[in-house]
A and B are shown apart, each in its own frame.
Chain A
Amino acid sequence: MTGYVVRRVAQSLLALLGVSVVVFSLMHLVPGDPVRTALGTRFDQEAYEALRARAGLDRPVLVQYAQWLGGVLTGDLGVSFRSGRSVSDVIMARVPATALLAGASLLVALAIALPAGIVSAIRQGKPIDYVATALSQIGVSIPDFWYGIMLILVFSLWLGWLPPSGYVSPLEDPTEFLRRVTMPAVTIGVVTGAILTRFTRSSVLESLNAEHVRLARAKGLPEGRILREHVLRNAWIPIVTVTGLQLATLLGGIVVVEVVFAWPGLGRLALDAVVNRDYPVMQGAVLVIAAAFLVINLLVDLLYARLDPRISYS
């Protein structure tokens, strides 16, 4: 088990190295001059050259990459072109907002997917199954930013129940945090929940039709116990995997929603950095999101072995 964890962590680090190369290369392929953008109207040739030299942009690309990577290994992601602040600080300030939103979205998704998926599997072919399937089809088909805008329209503009945007730390004001996180979390949660509903349904259905469930019935066990111990217990395994993958995917989709709801998270930070040609911030943000993705995948793999005795990592 320990050997497996070490190997998986090493693999993840290797993948992260690949991500860093791609991110770094892409940044330099994007048209536009970050130094010029940073200077804006204060442009003069001397300041331009000075800033270029300070940012190391006058050196060969490979050297720039090596320097950046060296910094990354010591936790130093460089300095923002735009604000002059440490990229690590800028990113760390944004992590809680994104993590909280991602967590809240996943809760919403599971609160939709588990009951809907399980009930529609158990009542296969009944009206409730068709309703759940139709709703999840709609949920999957419509883009999340549209839900976001509709939610703002209905609950903020028409009904005035919830603030349309912005973030308040739950440590400062838990109630206000809940009011603010509700709409963005529902926006992401509905889409993810719709995908997970379909998956939960098919996973439970497959489990329901398993031969060992028939044997459990032939043992004369109560139906509730069969459902818990022989159907759901088995169905969890694929559900957990896909939920983990969805959480990782959700990190990508969060960018758009953070923009719609002016949520000061990593996604918005990355988007702003692209717009401003703020290379160091952009690279740092993408690297952190990629790292989170890899960590989630690693955790899912480890959890998998806990749930399925047939899998042993050695």
Chain B
Amino acid sequence: MSDPVLSVRDLHVRFGSKRGVAHVVRGVSYDLHAGETLALVGESGSGKSVSTLALTKLIPMPPGRIDGEVHFGGRELVAMSEAELRSIRGNDIGFVFQDPMTSLNPVHPIGRQLTEGMRHHLGLSASAARDRAVELLSLVGIPDAANRLDAYPHQFSGGMRQRVVIAIGLSCEPKVLIADEATTALDVTTQAQIVDLVERLQEELGLAVVWITHDLGVVAGIADRVMVMYAGEIVEEADVDDLYGSPRHPYTVGLLGSLPVLGADEPGELTTIHGLPPDPTAMPPGCAFHPRCEFRDDDRCRDEHPPLRDADDAGDGHRVRSFYEVPADVREAASTSSQVAEAPPNAGDPLPAEASEGDR
């Protein structure tokens, strides 16, 4: 495989708070290759958003502190100055945020919001930027783009606004696009359209995407690789089919098992993962998931922090952070339930996955 476009090594993010230091990202490492889609899944507060915002230091510092290494285009970003980082943000690494209702500035026309990054990074003239903005809006499926540039965000529907936000993310032809819950606020139909759109653009532009979501249905539809995050660290990492077909971490098994089975003969109760994630200011010394784990055999994981190990001998990069093996029949059951979720994202209702997390 070619060199990764983005390489993250042992990334830590800590926030100073009144209750102590909250260690919200704890040693995250991964590689992202051109054209690849990496899904980051996990419940709210698992550190998935913060870990990607931290890549270009988009978190407030202080109180935040970032350690580790982020290699991008032969350069290391964590040690980089704010001015250098600004030349990368929006230019080489594009962002799409969750809420289309608040991501756009209500007092500026969308054309201006779409062109300001291009004019700044690419040095385009006003008219050149405008032409390109029309192209971009057409690309993301906004009809009559030339006449919509002077419209304000409130004149657009939620789905249309999110398309605008995606167009902004893509405007400077980034190498990496970070889509943070980019479809969560949208209805399922629009969600499916956006997912299709990003996949198409990825093929056309060779873009690498980090897709952050808690919606396992979307993940199955879009991702090449999946990383499951829990309490600020990666607990399982695998190719998408592998993860859905053979989940290894107790948390992943719980997540997949909690998806509703559409078309099941006798719809039973949804499985839930009991308990709550740990307090980031007081992480347990051992495995962060151990108080909620149903599959641990002894107290080893209470005191000893499990490393991310190869899940099997296949050498396919399926890694898991657990000392234990989930029994095959339980994995089988979780996998079966997830097969339905592997249908196109518009077929599965994304809500139950969220509801099962129980902390929102």
Contact = CB atoms under 8 A, between A and B. Distances in A.
Interface of A: 210-212, 214-222, 229-230, 233-234, 237, 307-310
Interface stretch (B103-111, B138-146, B268-276): B103-111
A217 B120 CA distance: 12
A147 B95 CA distance: 52
B152 A309 contact: yes
Contacts of A210: 102, 105
B134 to A, nearest CB: 19
A215 B106 contact: no
Contacts of B152: 309-310
A221 B90 CA distance: 8
Interface in B44-78: 56, 58
Given A212-B103, A310-B154, A220 B87 contact: yes
Contact of B168 (A217, A219, A234): A219
A222 B86 contact: yes
A234 B107 contact: yes
A253 B247 CA distance: 72
A31 B97 CA distance: 67
A216 B116 CA distance: 9
B72 to A, nearest CB: 14
A309 B154 contact: yes
Given A218-B58, A229-B108, A309-B107, A212 B102 contact: yes
Contacts of A220: 85-91, 117, 120-121
Contacts of B349: none
Given A215-B95, A215-B168, A219-B117, A230 B105 contact: yes
A211 B120 contact: no
A308 B107 contact: yes
Contacts of A230: 105
B121 to A, nearest CB: 6
B114 to A, nearest CB: 10
Contacts of B196: none
B107 A218 contact: no
27 contacts: A210-B102, A212-B102, A212-B106, A214-B58, A214-B97, A215-B95, A215-B165, A218-B89, A218-B94, A218-B97, A219-B89, A219-B120, A220-B120, A220-B121, A229-B105, A230-B105, A234-B105, A234-B106, A234-B107, A307-B107, A308-B106, A308-B107, A309-B107, A309-B152, A310-B106, A310-B152, A310-B154
Contacts of B104: 212, 215
A307 B152 CA distance: 13
Contacts of B154: 309-310
B133 to A, nearest CB: 14
Contact of A221 (B97, B102, B109, B116): B116
Given A221-B86, A309-B152, A215 B107 contact: no
Nearest to B109: A309
Nearest to A216: B105
A214 B99 CA distance: 12
A219 B97 contact: no
A215 B120 contact: no
A217 B104 CA distance: 12
Contacts of A211: 97, 99, 102-103
Contacts of B109: 309
A309 B103 contact: no
A307 B107 CA distance: 8
Contacts of B103: 211-212, 215
A222 B89 CA distance: 11
Given A210-B102, A219-B116, 19 more contacts: A210-B105, A211-B99, A212-B102, A212-B103, A216-B105, A218-B56, A218-B58, A218-B89, A219-B89, A220-B86, A221-B120, A222-B120, A229-B108, A230-B105, A233-B105, A234-B106, A309-B106, A309-B109, A310-B106
Contacts of B168: 215, 219
Nearest to B151: A309
Nearest to B114: A219
B67 to A, nearest CB: 21
A218 B91 CA distance: 9
A14 B204 CA distance: 64
Nearest to B106: A310
Contact of B95 (A218, A221, A237): A218
B90 A218 contact: yes
B177 to A, nearest CB: 11
A219 B99 contact: no
A108 B89 CA distance: 41
The CB with the most chain B CB atoms within 10 A, among A211, A219, A237, A309, is that of: A219
A215 B90 CA distance: 9
Contacts of B121: 220
A210 to B, nearest CB: 7
A211 B99 CA distance: 8
Contacts of A307: 107
A230 B103 CA distance: 11
A211 to B, nearest CB: 4
The CB with the most chain A CB atoms within 10 A, among B87, B105, B109, B117, is that of: B105
B167 to A, nearest CB: 12
Nearest to A234: B107
B105 A217 contact: no
Contacts of B56: 218
Interface string B109-129: 100000011001100000000
B89 A217 contact: yes
A210 B86 CA distance: 19
A233 B109 CA distance: 13
Nearest to A217: B58
Nearest to A237: B107
Nearest to A236: B107
Contacts of A234: 105-107
